[in-house]
Amino acid sequence: MGVIAIVGGQWGDEGKGRVIDLLAGKANMVVRFSGGDNAGHTVINPYGEFRLHLVPSGIFRPQLTCIIGNGVVINPAVLLEEIDNLQLHGVDTSHLVISDRAHLIMPYHILLDGLEEERRGKGALGTTRRGIGPVFADKVIRLGIRVGDLLDKDMFLSRLRAVLEFKNAILTKVYQVSPLSLEEIYEQYVSYGEQLAPFIGETSSIIHEAVAKGELVLLEGAQGALLDPDFGTYPYVTSSSPLAGAGSIGAGISPMAIVQVIGVLKAYITRVGGGPMPTELKDEVGELIREKGHEYGATTGRPRRCGWFDAVAARFSIQINGFSDLALTHLDIFDGFPSIKICTAYKFDDKVLNSFPSDSSILGKCQPICEELPGWQGPISGIRSLNGLPSEARHYLSRLEELLSCPISFVSVGPEREQMIKVRSILSR
């Protein structure tokens, strides 16, 4: 069947987890390929309500293999807690495999993420403070420590000693805080290694084998296209690529293995942390979306900034990801809205921009040009077919398809597994 990537098309929190949870029913494997525990994927199913940060959202289906790929960065404390919590709720986690190549988030990464945010003061990026920027920086400058390193204690100790000497110099001399203890980190991480050992493997070959057998493999994206380090609103971005293309590298498979790319987008748009957001609503409408949509961060609890659907940003996201289908989530949040707006272009100085600017300071000065569509009364949460939706809701969807030139194949009308309208089948293609 091949590989289907399911990735975020906005600034994260689009509902990727629930789309994966649904499609996983037909899949053989789900692979996380980027990010770390900055991700927070909410899944509601018969086991309960879960906020997954590292474990793939396919974990609830015991028949499939769940992989944390080489492109993910892992905080072992968070991962072990997540595994424990799943087991506590009766979820079998024995089908989880963690790449030995994945990099480890160390205590100094978390500390440095916070110190750097403090240092930036008013210019803080609003990171999740999970150590994401520092760990990816270390990966690239070859100072990282990987999951597989935990399996050889002597090697781990000598690597940690060398890296920590350098990190402690930065902590004490640049930031003027206390150094970290080699012994404490060593003992803690050796214990993590012992607990994680049964899960560690060479995952690229496992995924390759599944692809070769013609199985259905889902790539579970984290974050969203507009947080991409290259194409997002730099520097207000994350530190690994959330794009479908990164799925190939972060899982260790050929880009030609990916046969479909599903972009998950909300019916409106949200953002957590700093950075430009042209359609942000700082009024009671934004407040209403936040309250109705429970728009508070799954990882940090921060209130999310809310705004109208931004078709300029979505078109850009489609361009850089190559979405074959869209999954539009949270449509029910608009129940009872007298009208709904869609941003179709930006106004910058006296010019009309139809494309997403590469310069964040220009984006910050863009005013949205919106069209207004009639709303519906609702509630739509009990509706299970496209034709059952109010005509205004169908009109909203078809206008989006027209503006984006991409089919909407799923529409969610509530958070539960069955509250997803399947407009077109994607698995039979």
Residue 239 in the binding site for ligand IMO (CB under 6 A) = yes
d(CA 315, CA 403): 8
Please say if 208 is a catalytic residue.
Answer: no
- Segment contacting Mg ion (CB under 5 A): 8-16, 139-147, 165-173, 304-312? 8-16
Helices 107-120 & 132-140 angle (0-180, nearest 10): 110
Residue 364 in the binding site for ligand IMO (CB under 6 A) = no
Cis status of the peptide bond prior to 179, with omega within 30 of 0 = no
d(CA 315, CA 275): 19
Give the single-character DSSP code of 280: B
The size of the interface with ligand IMO (CB under 6 A), counted in residues, is: 23
- One residue of 4, 9, 13, 393 binding Mg ion per CB under 5 A: 13
Catalytic residue among 13, 149, 228, 332: 13
Interaction residues for ligand IMO, span 171-230 (CB under 6 A)? 222-224, 227
- One residue of 5, 7, 13, 327 binding ligand IMO per CB under 6 A: 13
Residue 298 in the binding site for Mg ion (CB under 5 A) = yes
Residue 130 CB, nearest approach to ligand IMO (Å):
5
d(CA 237, CA 74): 19
Output 128 or 344, the one with its CB closest to ligand IMO.
128
d(CA 353, CA 229): 22
The size of the interface with Mg ion (CB under 5 A), counted in residues, is: 3
Please say if 294 is a catalytic residue.
Answer: no
Residues 6+ apart with CB under 8 A from 264: 6, 7, 8, 9, 14, 15, 16, 19, 221, 326, 327, 329
- One residue of 28, 45, 203, 238 binding ligand IMO per CB under 6 A: 238
Binding partner of 193, given Mg ion, ligand IMO, none, CB within 5-8 angstroms per partner class: none
Question: Helix or strand or coil: residue 238?
Answer: coil
Residue 422 CB, nearest approach to ligand IMO (Å):
23
Based on the number of CB atoms within 10 Å of its own CB, is 355 exposed (0-12), middle (13-18) or buried (19 or more)?
exposed
Residues 6+ apart with CB under 8 A from 175: 112, 115, 119
- One residue of 21, 22, 30, 40 binding ligand IMO per CB under 6 A: 40
d(CA 60, CA 49): 11
Residue 1 in the binding site for ligand IMO (CB under 6 A) = no
Interaction residues for Mg ion, span 107-146 (CB under 5 A)? none
Output 417 or 422, the one with its CB closest to Mg ion.
417
Q: How many helices (H) and strands (E) does the chain have?
A: 12, 20
Residue 310 in the binding site for Mg ion (CB under 5 A) = no
Output 19 or 406, the one with its CB closest to ligand IMO.
19
Q: Are strands 325-329 and 408-412 parallel, antiparallel or unpaired?
A: parallel
Binding site for ligand IMO (CB under 6 A): 8, 11-13, 38-41, 125-128, 130, 132-133, 222-224, 227, 238-239, 272-273
Which residues are identified as catalytic? 13, 41
